[in-house]
Amino acid sequence: MPSYRMFIDDTGNVNSKTDEHPQNRYAGIVGAIMNLDYVYTRFEPSFDKLRRKFFCDNDDEPMPILHLRRMKKAEGRFHQLKDKDFRAEWEKYCFRMYERAQYTVIAVCVDKLRFLELHENWDGNFYRLLVGNAIERYFYFLKNSGGDGDVMCEATNPNLDNNLKELYREFYHDGSDHIKAHALQSRLSTNEIKIQPKSDDIRGLQLADMLASTSFSHCKRIYADGPDYDAFAMKVADVLERDKFYRDRHGNPHGYGRIWRP
């Protein structure tokens, strides 16, 4: 039985408060799913080769942990990205990685304001909604792939990390809104989510970080008439739409790899 891992990252404002400002109105959870054998034998070596090529002066220099926000701002170890030609070369090789790497994306997003308008008596938690929907789609991916798997995310702050741990245990032991516990337990390989500090340099979590904002912006553009965003990210979104989102047997990612609530 093949084993998988879903590396997740949240984006937007995942707390339950909301208003009409776009930064508060929308939230998402994005997962990048990979076969663990592939992660260890092919993805991680290739990912390290890419990092070392662009951001290390020699083989002894520690590789930087890739972080999309810092890379866009060309901060710290990514200062060379201020150079137009250097950035163009980086984007060429990075885009090749997005195209060639073997991963499947699940993006669960919510328009919190619209959701509350349609569900007037709802007293739930948006973070729980997003995490639960992501785990449900992951379950169907594992079932259709004939495998099992776990989930990993990056540590952020103790309160959110503990909340996520409790949510995952709840889904595992009690089931989700649409999937019974025994079914989830047949595919999820552990009752604990793995939460790792950034310093652990988990390559799959870095990929999830690099995909989260793009997936989120892409979904807002499709479902909420969101604006265009930077040209490179839109090229990456085309790859996700064409090849990487989890999709139904007809090839449609709507409701499978890109989920928009309400």
* CATH number of the domain enclosing 21: 3.30.420
Enter the tokens of residue 89.
């070369």
Please state the rounded mean pLDDT for residues 215-230.
Answer: 96
Report pLDDT digits (tens) over 24-57. Answer: 999 999 999 999 999 999 999 999 999 999 999 9
| The pLDDT of residue 181 is above 90 | yes
Judge whether 209 and 153 are in contact, CB under 8 Å. no
pLDDT band for position 16 (cuts 50, 70, 90): confident
CA 30 – CA 7 distance, rounded (Å): 8
Question: What is the per-residue pLDDT for 180?
Answer: 98
Residue 157 falls inside a structural domain: yes
**Residue 191, pLDDT score:** 97
Q: For residues 143 and 141, give the distance between their C-alpha atoms in angstroms, rounded to a whole number.
A: 5
51-88 confidence digits (pLDDT tens): 999 999 988 899 999 999 999 999 999 999 999 999 99
The structural domain count of the chain equals 1
Q: Is residue 179 assigned to a domain? A: yes
CB 255: neighbour CB atoms within 10 A?
12
- Average pLDDT for residues 236-255, to the nearest whole number? 98
pLDDT band at 114 (very low <50, low <70, confident <90, very high): very high
123 occurs within a structural domain: yes
Mean pLDDT over each residue of the chain, to the nearest integer: 97
On whether residue 243 sits in a domain, the answer given is yes
Residue 15 has pLDDT above 90, yes or no: no
Instruction: Kindly state whether residue 232 falls inside one of the protein's structural domains.
Output: yes
In a domain, 73, yes or no: no
> Do 14 and 126 form a contact (C-beta atoms < 8 A)?
yes
Beta strands at 258-261 and 104-111: parallel, antiparallel or unpaired:
parallel
Omega prior to 253 cis, within 30 of 0: no
Choose the weakest-confidence range: 16-25, 44-53, 100-109.
Answer: 16-25
pLDDT of residue 59: 85
Establish if 252 belongs to a structural domain: yes
69 occurs within a structural domain: no
Average pLDDT over residues 188-206: 98
What is the span of the domain harbouring residue 190? 3-37+106-261
